[in-house]
Amino acid sequence: MKNLKTLSIAAAFATAGILMACDATTTSSTEDTTADSSYVAEETEVTPAESEADETVVDIAIGSADHTTLVAALSSAELVETLKGNGPFTIFAPTNTAFEQLPAGTVDNLVKPENKEKLTDILSYHVVSGEVKAADLSDGQVIQTINGKNLTVSIKDGTVSINGAKVTAADLDGSNGVVHVIDSVLMPK
């Protein structure tokens, strides 16, 4: 996820650089055309802060190469639009590697239409209503997920875990909440 933020920032700066370069190489026979050209560049320039602020928690996952399995599962469970809603939401987002640690065939079985309810239950176990930042977490804290089941936070030697899943990247801010990347899939009991 850090790479995603870095990539987003780099893309925004590259876009701004291209816009400035295009503006700098444009020659014009009149002052009015030059003024209009720089005005357009100012209108279309997007700052990194604006780019990040427009991304929902789901957009963060969609833009991450490490979360394609999560995005596919959210699509199968028809939760993408819900998580693009107003929120705020906190998502504990397992990586592709986390899904690969499940027994063989688990993901393929869960995304079948007849297993939508079970998949929705599992995915909802990764979502908390409200925005929970890393600084808000404490050792032994119990957090209720949107499926009504609880997660337990543990903090040891500065490492935060949620039901044993290690948080590998925290506080990825979206316009409607926050994402914390985890190294395991949380399974409701």
Residue 188 domain flag: no
Residues 71 and 17 in one domain: no
Residues 37 and 112 in one domain: no
Kindly report the average pLDDT of the chain as a whole number.
80
Is 45 in the same domain as 61? no
| Count of structural domains within the chain | 2
Range of the domain at 46: 2-51
103 & 19 share domain:
no
Residue 71 and residue 77 in contact, taking contact as beta carbons nearer than 8 Å: no
Is residue 52 scored above 60 in pLDDT?
no
CB atoms within 10 A of CB 170: 16
Query: 59 with 150, same domain?
Result: yes
Is residue 123 predicted with pLDDT exceeding 50? yes
Q: Final residue of a domain: which of 29, 51, 73?
A: 51
Distance CA 105, CA 157 (A): 35
- Model pTM score: 0.72
Among the listed residues 95, 182, 79, 63, the one whose alpha carbon sits nearest the alpha carbon of residue 134: 182
